[in-house]
Structure 1
Amino acid sequence: MNVQLIAHTQLSADFLSQDDEYLYDKVFHEEIAEGQAIALTAIRTCYSANKPTEIVAKEGAKYFGSKASDGGTGTDADRLFRHIFASKHTSTLEHISFTFAIEGVSRTLLAQLTRHRAGFSFSVQSQRYVRMGSDDKIGGFDYVAPGKIDDPEAEAVFIAAMQDAQRKYDELRSLGVSAEDARAVLPNAAATNLVMTANLTALLSFYSKRKPGKGAQKEITELAEALRREVVDAEPWTDQFFEEV
């Protein structure tokens, strides 16, 4: 499995330039994450008389420039984010999205992953258009072994089943069966690749259900952890929310 963040929500140049003396400098020096500025704008728009384009310019110094008034860590903006999260007003975090390349995962995982629909978008490698034959460009289908197939005898049975599926697929194709019909013999273990976009609220919900200790299958718990790492690397202030879900 390989998971890599391709893109995430960033501030526009016009928005950054409207308050050169505060916002641009703070973001440039990484004192404020861009996601934090977006979150503050969305949250305070619900409660402030100021316009969305004015929120950070007029209120940023107050929230980002002072210590958390609840006695917790970070700035008063962090206090506000904690309050919003605790009060479940997390629709305000839906404005922050992340796009990932996810490679080498099983179709079993894909079936589990796509049950999470709200706030997610998927573009998946097609077994109809990408031919999986041994002599095709892909060189035959890859597969992902379930984590619990870990003793030599079980592993041998599993590998034999994968090899047999490949032979049957190749035989069907040699008999003139189309790729879209021959794919019916490919197993749930067959590997696939996808691009996935999700907003922060949706990712937190996904993580709460698929993180280790929740009874999910090993492969998808590994995906949950990989997504978490990518998000937190891009927006470190979100780590506290993953810890709490």
Structure 2
Amino acid sequence: MKYFRVDVVAATPNPQQVIWAAMHQDYAEEYVWNGRDRWPDEEQSGELIVKHLLSGDRGHYGPLEHPQITVNVGYFPHSMMQQLRTHRVGVSFDVQSFRYTGQRVVDVVEGKLDIEEVFYMRPVGNYTNRQGKRYFYSEEQRQDDLQWCLDACKHYKKRIDEGLSEEHARSIIPFDARQHFVLSCNVRSLLHLLDLRWKKDAQLEAQKFCELIWVHFEEWTPAIAKWYSDNRAHKAKLAP
């Protein structure tokens, strides 16, 4: 979907090796650091994690909590941010606040930004409501909704020009304004988030978020990602 993006800010180097060290310390007699010259490399560590920790749903996922990844998430609708933010165990958020960042709403009125860069509307297409009833969201409806957003922007600018604070005027902004945030989590909490928000009946935009963060996760922890893809992805198994 246009504008959506997820970029890595920082991530623990050699995450699979870190997990292996934590896992190995659970049953090793020696102080694990002292034998670091004999540690398996990143690829071998991933293989050992899958073999001894993940295969067979053994359920001992504590070692997965050590590596951390931080991502910048951009241009997703406010509703998706809210849905993700309900899952705070092992996940930290810092979210753009409309108390301070209303200039882009004014920029829409002044023609400096496209309305769809600031507000999100779902694509034209077939959908199903919570009761299972199918419906079609038409181009005519979508354009009508975008016009409503533009009218709201004009009203927002009018109130700002009259001297209202952004904190006060934000109450009239349409609900699904696009909102940027920074998210940090460990491997275990990220898998839990994927369990909950990459299932087939999850909010469409949350599924798209999962697709975008998955690309980075595959690159960061390839062996764990492959195991997850083969065994848990899209199956709504609760939580490693």
Q: Give me the TM-score of the superposition, normalised by structure 2.
A: 0.79
1:34-113 to 2 correspondences below 5 Å: 34-54=14-34, 56-58=36-38, 60=40, 64=44, 75-83=47-55, 86-113=57-84
Q: 1:153 to 1:64 in 2, by over 3 A?
A: closer
SS of structure 2 residue aligned to 1:134: helix
C-alpha separation between the residues in 1 aligned to 2:35 and 2:214?
29
TM-score normalised to structure 1 length: 0.77
Paired residue secondary structure (2:118): coil
Are 1:184 and 2:175 counterparts?
Answer: no
For residue 119 of structure 2, what is the aligned residue in structure 1?
143
Counterpart code for 1:142? V
Equivalence for 1:120: 91
Q: 1:192 to 1:221 in 2, by over 3 A?
A: same
Identical counterparts, % of pairs: 22
Q: Structure 1 residue 4 and structure 2 residue 25: aligned?
A: no
Specify which structure has the bigger relative contact order, considering alpha-carbon pairs within 8 angstroms and separated by 6 or more residues.
Answer: 2
Matched letter for residue 206 of structure 2: I
Deviation at 1:122, TM superposition (A): 1.0
**Structure 2 stretches lacking a partner, 5+ long:** 126-136, 233-240
Cα root mean square deviation, aligned: 2.6
| Aligned positions, number | 211
- Residue of structure 2 in register with 1:130 after alignment: 101
Alpha-carbon spacing, 1:55–1:121, altered in 2? closer, same or farther (3 Å): farther
Distance in 2, Cα, partners of 1:158 & 1:190: 13
Q: Confirm whether residue 239 of structure 1 aligns to residue 239 of structure 2.
A: no
Worse-superposed segment, 180-189 or 129-138:
129-138
How far off its partner does 1:204 sit? 0.4
Q: Deviations over 1:140-194 (max 9, x none)?
A: 8701112466411211221122112111211111221111110111122101111
Structure 1 unaligned regions, length at least 5: 11-33, 66-73
The whole-number CA distance in structure 2 between the counterparts of 1:220 and 1:168 is 30
Q: Which residue of 2 is the match for residue 24 of structure 1?
A: none
User: How far off its partner does 1:54 sit?
Assistant: 3.1
Q: 1:222 aligns with which of 192, 203, 208?
A: 208
Q: Which residue of 2 aligns with 1:159?
A: 146
**1:59 Cα offset (Å):** 5.6
Match of 1:128, SS? coil
Q: Which has the larger radius of gyration?
A: 1
2:218–2:226 Cα contact (<8 Å) kept:
no
Q: Secondary structure of the residue that 2:106 maps to in structure 1? A: coil
The offset of 1:57, in angstroms, is 3.6
Q: Secondary structure at the match of 1:195?
A: strand
Evaluate the alpha carbon distance shift between residue 218 and residue 41 of structure 1 in structure 2; reply closer, same or farther with a 3 A threshold: same
